[in-house]
Amino acid sequence: MKEYESLSWYAARIKPHLPKEAFKPVPSRLLGGLAFLIIAIGGILAVSLLELSLWLNLLITIVLGASYASLGFLGHEILHGTVVRKPWLRDLLGAITFWPLCTGPSLWRKWHNMNHHVHTQDEHKDPDAWISASELEKKPLVRLLYRIPLAIRATFSLFSLALTFTVHSFRMFTVYIKDFDPRNRPKVWVQLVLPWVSWIGLLFAIGFVKWLFVFLLPLLIANFIVMAYISTNHRLNPLVPVNDPLANSLSVTVPKWVDAIHFNFSYHTEHHLFPSVNPKYYPLVKAHIKKNWPERYHEMPFLKAMVALFKTPRIYYDQKELVDPREGMMYGSLGNGLNPNQIISRRSDDDFQSEIKPSKNTDV
């Protein structure tokens, strides 16, 4: 086998072993979304209309945050067309489920389906890929951040997960809005603005303190849950020249009840291999992958993956290694000797330094 194989190469070898039902939409998945929607509306009404104790409000806040995240996971599934196929219904349901995260369905399909999935872990084309040492040279502000010690940076990054999805979603809007047909741009703008108008309107209706419990804090919790998965999906994997889902993606393992409320989002390699297959069939896809290519499949307990993220830097060097620009410490990536507790090398040669340090003519 070659070092990398294409997505279609793997899919062609597994698809004949999957039942036809796996490729059909499963509308019954909406029942789970309905349950979370009822919980969310009930929590918002309870906090808004009743004078509850601080601790009860905080408990409802946690439940709301978890529900917003679960709705987002279902929205991801819906917008891949695995729940319903009619475009207008798909986008309507996607808009509802992504409403708490304030991300429109048109933007999500452009950013996630058409770019991230097609160019996964491509250094230049994947909108979610982390930057390389050569790209760091072009970003003086980011370069300043990487002068901070790794442990402090990692701690900040961990807490910043509570904001990252929302911030990145805004960034993706600015990146992709110009790519939409001018006739469709008003719709994309409306999909961005309406959720924020509704949440800010709720702020004026119920006051800041209650709004804090029903939207702002739950949004931070939902961001953290969603980004904890997204961060482990690819950031321990190498950058790749070929869209090889076994090389560029990581599946994490969580308790079955967590998979149930998160709509099997943990099966990320499986999702990248078959984004059109409903996630209820991902355990079957996983079994076939492990049977055929056990040495290539990347799987890790969720907490272990989070620890690995915390202990390793987020800049790529030569695509396969993770480097700390401040100290020149090199760590492996998945499939290339990843061990968060072990530095595989320390680079100090002139070529490396020219990539990670500003040139003499660069103002910082």
User: How confident is the model over 196-212, as pLDDT tens digits?
Assistant: 999 999 999 999 999 99
Residue percentage of the chain with pLDDT more than 90: 80
Report residue 328's pLDDT band, with 50, 70 and 90 as the boundaries.
confident
- Do the beta carbons of residue 100 and residue 222 sit within 8 Å? yes
Enter the tokens of residue 202. Answer: 């709720």
Q: How confident is the model at residue 134 (pLDDT cuts 50, 70, 90)?
A: confident
Query: Are the beta carbons of 67 and 43 closer than 8 angstroms?
Result: yes
What phi and psi, each to the nearest 5 degrees, are found at residue 4? -130, 145
Q: pLDDT by residue (tens digit) across 13-27?
A: 999 999 999 999 999
Does residue 350 register a pLDDT over 90?
Answer: no
CB within 8 Å of 45: residues ≥ 6 apart: none
pLDDT of residue 362 exceeding 50: no
Q: Where residue 359 falls among pLDDT bands split at 50, 70, 90?
A: very low
Burial degree of 144 (CB within 10 A; 0-12, 13-18, 19+):
exposed
Given a contact cutoff of 8 angstroms between Cβ atoms, the answer to whether 54 and 212 are in contact is no
Q: Which one has a higher pLDDT value, 282 or 349? A: 282
pLDDT, mean of residues 304-316: 93
Mean pLDDT of the chain: 92
Residues 6+ apart with CB under 8 A from 317: 132, 133, 323, 330, 347, 352, 355
Residues 344-356: what's their mean pLDDT? 60
195's tokens: 């959720």
**114 DSSP assignment:** I
Q: Which spans in 207-301 are helix H?
A: 208-211, 217-234, 245-248, 256-261, 268-273, 282-292
